Structure 1
């Protein structure tokens, strides 16, 4: 998400949401595993529309489809929807080896070797994740254009071992939205502007912008995003899909261009909770090159689908901030409806008060990220194949190529990071204690005091306008900071529509509570089926 929110009045509060168009829908007639309501869509004839991982596996098992035919359909879809037609611009690069990988997986299937649940399944990954193939890894920056990683990121190795087909890389907010205080989410100097699939004049949040839009627009079945604060959960929420930011330590960060070793993590993004759970199980693992993954020993799982229960909310105690989020009455009505669903499924909703205390730590969190970004990026670049070897050289490249690299907003965040000292400074150590440990103390205290199973609330307001000159103007609803600064897990699931744009409902809890969060999200998802298909609108409609 846009880091300038840490600077607004020392909190994550911004401007109020503005008015867009309301959308209507009708109930889907799909089976119990469906998570979508049907609305008119110009692309509803796509053969893989809203298909799940298990559906694809069944088609390959019965022989009606192959990994090659599935991959080709998605490649054609990307050409049709992403590069022409609505031109969503969510994909920054296609893997030229995608079809050959798919053919290899088909040959293995014919020989009776099925690697697992992702065998032959096309997956898109964010362009800050290393792949030692023919694709670049650039974080969307022209400064890293041409960079081919020496080695696959740990999670990419996990995907390949599971038989996944790496379909390509997704566009993102450049440097994972850590370049400028007036950036427009979803824009990168290498990839251009990613657009919301629901309203093409609006951006899909970030920084995992393309990883949110691609599964929502059915350009893939699942994608990988990364998050430091909101970069999975925000684009998932505003793209009408599910996004899970795991506990920091559950998923390795080795081979991912960093912001913060305290808060960074990769995570799954998908249209359904079940597909999210399947992908999460593949990504986990102990990595000797990422020490924090050792904390997941005895806690990581390879199968999270066993926790998916339609009655998962029954008997649970869910805390929700008692202060209403923002000032928009449509958002208030949506939250009230969500609370009613939680209660109807047997959960007890408990009013709690904690968000102001978390948001008051925003400046400390921002300082942590700035210090750790400088240290982490310098370490990454020093060992990378890229010609650029330091943050200082990135800044110099951008200045020397300003018309191409910085035609709109500039790089004051990068410059502020470069001006800082090392991780031994007192300012950094104090900020880390206040933000990371402080957030944990607050959340743990709320969970214990009220005997909560999880905390919930609206994830974000709806997508904001694309504004390359003045940057994002998000609404006054943010629920990303608590789980981000504490390192705790956070899942968002479609909650409904406001002004014709998706809004998500969040669940988060203590470290390694992914099984509980997936169960709660699945129960809510199956009770509501709130996901709506994108309609690629090009202009606002009247509210009347």
Structure 2
């Protein structure tokens, strides 16, 4: 009615959007992080990013299922499973994993249940499910999008991000999500770095004359079909005018993984306790959450346990020397990425986003398909976009572009040029198995 009357609220006016169920909405929808411990929790106010979306005219149609507590509960979880929502399934082959933790957002977009969706990422939770489900996933620089009103894992690494079927849609959605928020002081760093319009970077010729670093470790991966697909797409980048420069980024950032894990354990305790202290209907602390889960183990812990929550709860506060040392080591990924970019005069670095989806396994948990390129940009808090680059036996595989902080425009342009020349995305057919 508003459109017919000539009233246009913004670029997303009337567009149906779904958002991950760890993002607050002050409406009739619950915000639960997939946990039965919060099944009656309704947020007192919208998350800042939700306010931004509503201002742009978006219709928030539903919350999407996720890996419970954004996949920071157990070492052998099944991605896309939560005690509240059950198992999310991959729309290409439904006995395959959708990956996580933004599983529901990825599947909703891939299966055309909405126009676009919002996910969140700490390490791979936007990019990995986007890759598994054959869509575009954009993890912005940490601080470009406010985290206030989002159930946290890590203040250092958390961010919300667009999950869409095209790069153009990701740029449009990002426009509506960004903004400086006094309640999330990290966004103050982005004040002069937010582009006026991310769609201005959509250029089919964006790869011409660019220097692109290519992560070499994925050319030595154990799945030869993924290696062949990756090599084919590297050749495609050359055809589009890019100069290819071999790099070994993963070799340098890989040893930082244990430090990153310690950072997440400490920050999860700090951030979750602060969030839960504001909850009216539900557990009020991490300790209460652990006890709730034990009391309702038949529903909550029947497939895998909560050892990550327990490890986190045993940690001290953020003044701990262990935490401070781990934080310095983990965030050194920024200097590593910046050095690799500078020394090689690169515009961006590419790699496989992840391998093809493994089967859902509630007994043993997730398998690692390899070819995982999320940690470097995650630890650095730098932007990362994945675009479909083909499939293996009908299972999508994504190609990733990463760059330095606030270079969203650069990687959006490069990803768009690649996407438009290849158009590898296929429509999911909901096969029962392969």
Q: State the TM bucket, normalised to the shorter chain.
A: over 0.9
2:289 aligned to which of 391, 394, 398: 394
Q: Are 1:479 and 2:373 matched, yes or no?
A: yes
Alignment of 1:233-248 (within 5 A): 233-248=127-142
2:277 aligned to which of 382, 387, 395: 382
Q: Are 1:153 and 2:47 matched, yes or no?
A: yes
Which residue in the other structure is 1:523 paired with? 417
TM-fit CA distance, 1:302: 4.2
Give a deviation string over 1:76-121, Cα, whole Å, max 9, x none: xxxxxxxxxxxxxxxxxxxxxxxxxxxxxx3x22332101210000
Which residue in the other structure is 1:455 paired with? 349
Give a deviation string over 1:333-384, Cα, whole Å, max 9, x none: 1111111110001001100122122111100000000100000000001122
Which residue in the other structure is 1:90 paired with? none
Is the deviation greater in 149-158 or in 382-391? 382-391
Which residue in the other structure is 1:326 paired with? 221
Q: Are 1:369 and 2:260 matched, yes or no?
A: no
Which residue in the other structure is 1:532 paired with? 426
Alignment of 1:74-93 (within 5 A): none
| Kept in 1: contact 2:14–2:59 (CA 8 A) | yes
| Kept in 2: contact 1:317–1:453 (CA 8 A) | yes
For 1:352 and 1:190, the matched residues in 2 are separated by: 43
Which residue in the other structure is 2:302 paired with? 407
Which residue in the other structure is 1:295 paired with? 189
| Kept in 2: contact 1:284–1:302 (CA 8 A) | no
Which residue in the other structure is 2:205 paired with? 311
Alignment of 1:224-263 (within 5 A): 224-263=118-157
For 1:165 and 1:386, the matched residues in 2 are separated by: 26
For 1:316 and 1:227, the matched residues in 2 are separated by: 28
| Kept in 1: contact 2:118–2:161 (CA 8 A) | yes
For 1:176 and 1:385, the matched residues in 2 are separated by: 21
Q: Are 1:420 and 2:320 matched, yes or no?
A: no
Q: Give the TM-score normalised by structure 2.
A: 0.99
C-alpha distance 325-460 of structure 1, shift in aligned 2 (>3 A)? farther
| Kept in 2: contact 1:325–1:331 (CA 8 A) | no
For 1:387 and 1:218, the matched residues in 2 are separated by: 33
For 1:484 and 1:442, the matched residues in 2 are separated by: 13
For 1:416 and 1:325, the matched residues in 2 are separated by: 34
Q: Give the TM-score normalised by structure 1.
A: 0.79
For 2:270 and 2:229, the matched residues in 1 are separated by: 42
For 1:465 and 1:474, the matched residues in 2 are separated by: 11
2:330 aligned to which of 405, 418, 435: 435
For 2:28 and 2:227, the matched residues in 1 are separated by: 48
Identify unmatched segments of 5+ residues in structure 2: none
TM-fit CA distance, 1:321: 1.8
| Kept in 2: contact 1:325–1:477 (CA 8 A) | no
Give a deviation string over 1:380-426, Cα, whole Å, max 9, x none: 01122233100000000000010011111010000000111111101
| Kept in 1: contact 2:120–2:161 (CA 8 A) | yes
2:362 aligned to which of 456, 468, 492: 468
TM-fit CA distance, 1:325: 4.7
3-state secondary structure, aligned to 2:18: strand
Which residue in the other structure is 1:172 paired with? 66
For 2:215 and 2:53, the matched residues in 1 are separated by: 38
Identify unmatched segments of 5+ residues in structure 1: 1-105
For 2:167 and 2:397, the matched residues in 1 are separated by: 16
For 1:260 and 1:266, the matched residues in 2 are separated by: 12
For 2:341 and 2:196, the matched residues in 1 are separated by: 27
Give a deviation string over 1:467-494, Cα, whole Å, max 9, x none: 1111000212110000000000000000
Tell me the number of residue pairs that the alignment of Structure 1 and Structure 2 aligns: 433
For 2:252 and 2:75, the matched residues in 1 are separated by: 23
3-state secondary structure, aligned to 2:3: helix
For 1:372 and 1:251, the matched residues in 2 are separated by: 19
